[in-house]
Amino acid sequence: MSKIIIFDTTLRDGEQSPGASLTPQAKLEVAYQLAKLGVDVIEAGFPVSSPGDFDSAKRVAQKVKGPIICGLARCMKKDIDAARDSLKYAKRRRIHVFLATSKIHMKYKLKKAEDEIVKLAVEGVSYARKFCGDIEFSPEDASRSEREFLYRVIEEVINAGATTINIPDTVGYALPDEFGSLIKGIKNNVPNIEKAVISVHCHNDLGLSVANSLAAVKNGAGQVECTVNGIGERAGNASLEEIVMAISVRKDLLDFATGINKKEIYKTSRLVSKLTGIPVQPNKAIVGQNAFAHESGIHQDGVLKKSITYEIIRPQDVGFSGTKLVLGKHSGRHAFLERLKIIGYRLKENELNKAFEKFKILADKKKEVFDEDLTTIIEDEIAVVPEIYHLEDFKVTSGTKVAPAASVKLRKNKKMFEALSTGDGPIDACYKAIDKIVGLKGRLKDYRIRSVTSGKDALGEVSVRIEVWKKEVTGRGASTDIIEASIKAYLNAVNKIVTRYKGETTRVEL
């Protein structure tokens, strides 16, 4: 049984989802969890793209052990130098260089002829090979490239030292039979292909990224590039959890294995969703809240008699837990800590203190606390968004014949700020009051709410996406009071803005 290398690009391509920017600390938390999940390669970023991306890749390279740590670079010396410098502390490292090979990209984007492309690709790989023995090369837009030219480029870069050849379906254009045929063609027509691993990186524009990746594996690909929850540019990437579980479940047709610890899948999905602010749709395969829910009476009857009748995966296999926390307002710190260990969290002392304090506050509001509630509390603590503005108090008035109004009090350092505002509703009024205090005007692009657990006292989680100064950021907040959760979500986004872009504007007093 051949092992398929799982190359995770959540921190690079996944972060390119609109509004999904991660802080360096958040990237590090995701990288730690990816290592625990068992991915083989972590693409930590595109180091030359920004000082923040360079720093994030460097921190991951310094601190995360186990997986190969990879940095992306164009076939340009400054890009490769940045990747080299950011990865130098990694015990196992890879430089990933790319250059477009399709006629569309060569003509309209690069404005270069075929011979120039070959020369640049060879020079880029040769230069990167001076610093690292593990070099990956991607012919961008490979699925729309002319095959004979693609074969030529691949042969030349392998001769120059490339050890992995990644074939991207950059715009999600290919169909499974077509993409499988492309991989088979590369195996049969590139003379030195046995010296390199064939990899694939499929986008989901036609909803076929996972199908294309699996077709590639069946035809000789040894590595799949994917992201947690399938996040990424435009419609996203091939979903890591779907690839892994398809290989696991359909061993009759896919005689392969991965090194993924499947019980960590759901926890990883939740963490990425929380930190990026991108919710997982309820019907998402493997990790969606409805993935193992059965409403039909016929289905319920069948599952109760024998789960395999309607479940091809056991929820426990991917880390779902229906266990109820026997914890409440009288529970002590020791019981709280033991429960954290059971569901897989290890917190530092300061994180534990904050989490326990939040747990006690929540336990006062709820009769029962569930694992999902606890997970939300912990995810709030590890999000590590600097809390420039902290919610102290709010009051709202609203009604059928009453104009919605809000009073919001925020603390910044030791100073208190308060503002009054009206709005289209109590939440809108709160947001406008926050804007008055902070000195910005955020445009609400998206607002979502979900119940973390069931019951009238359920913990509600709100996610928002706001635009300020033509920059989009996401925020999340949780509370049993949905207006409070909404305020926390908006403040979470505001704090990201004033932290991340404080050097780019004078409109926010910092």
pLDDT in tens, 79-132: 999 999 999 999 999 999 999 999 999 999 999 999 999 999 999 999 999 999
Residues 356 and 490 occupy one common structural domain: no
Whole-number pLDDT of residue 178: 98
CA distance to 323, 326, 345, 346, per residue, from 338 (Å)? 14, 12, 10, 10
Assign residue 436 the CATH number of its domain.
Answer: 3.30.160.270
Measured distance CA(292)–CA(279) in Å, rounded: 18
Does some domain include residue 10? yes
Residues 265 and 302 occupy one common structural domain: no
CA 487 to chain centre: 24
| Domain range enclosing 86 | 2-276
**Res. 430: pLDDT tops 80:** yes
Portion of the chain with pLDDT greater than 90, in percent: 64
Highest mean pLDDT among 208-222, 264-278, 321-335: 208-222
Q: Which residues contact 360 (CB under 8 A, 6 or more apart)?
A: 329
Which of 352, 382, 412 is the endpoint of a domain?
382
- Say if CB 474 and CB 19 are below 8 A apart: yes
Cα three-residue angle 86-91-95, rounded to 5 degrees: 45
Whole-number pLDDT of residue 426: 95
What single letter denotes the amino acid at residue 90? Answer: A
Residues 200 and 345 occupy one common structural domain: no
Q: Residue 387: pLDDT band by 50, 70, 90 thresholds?
A: confident
Which of 382, 400, 432 is the endpoint of a domain?
382
Does some domain include residue 506? no
**Res. 503: pLDDT tops 50:** no
Does some domain include residue 404? yes
The mean pLDDT value of the chain amounts to 89
Q: Residue 506: pLDDT band by 50, 70, 90 thresholds?
A: very low
Residues 21 and 140 occupy one common structural domain: yes
Residues 297 and 264 occupy one common structural domain: no
- Say if CB 171 and CB 140 are below 8 A apart: no
Residues 327 and 313 occupy one common structural domain: no
Residues 271 and 376 occupy one common structural domain: no
Q: Which has more pLDDT, 43 or 355? A: 43
Whole-number pLDDT of residue 468: 83
Does some domain include residue 509? no
Does some domain include residue 283? no
Overall average pLDDT of the 143-158 stretch: 98
Beta-strand runs (E) in 84-219: 93-100, 135-140, 164-169, 197-202
Condensed to tens digits (0 to 9), the pLDDT of residues 264-308 reads 999 999 999 988 889 899 899 999 888 876 544 555 456 456 667
Residues 95 and 142 occupy one common structural domain: yes
Annotate 78-101 with three-state secondary structure: HHHHHHHHHHCCCCCEEEEEEEEC
Q: Residue 465: pLDDT band by 50, 70, 90 thresholds?
A: confident
Give the predicted TM-score (pTM) of the model.
Answer: 0.76
Which of 382, 404, 423 is the endpoint of a domain?
382
Number of domains in the chain: 4
Overall average pLDDT of the 459-482 stretch: 86
Does some domain include residue 505? no
Whole-number pLDDT of residue 317: 87
Measured distance CA(435)–CA(476) in Å, rounded: 17
Residues 470 and 495 occupy one common structural domain: yes
Condensed to tens digits (0 to 9), the pLDDT of residues 360-379 reads 888 887 767 777 778 777 76
Does some domain include residue 287? no
Does some domain include residue 376? yes
Q: Residue 504: pLDDT band by 50, 70, 90 thresholds?
A: very low
Whole-number pLDDT of residue 499: 76
Residues 164 and 26 occupy one common structural domain: yes
Residues 299 and 336 occupy one common structural domain: no
Measured distance CA(353)–CA(83) in Å, rounded: 38
Whole-number pLDDT of residue 294: 52
**Res. 350: pLDDT tops 90:** no
Residues 338 and 416 occupy one common structural domain: no
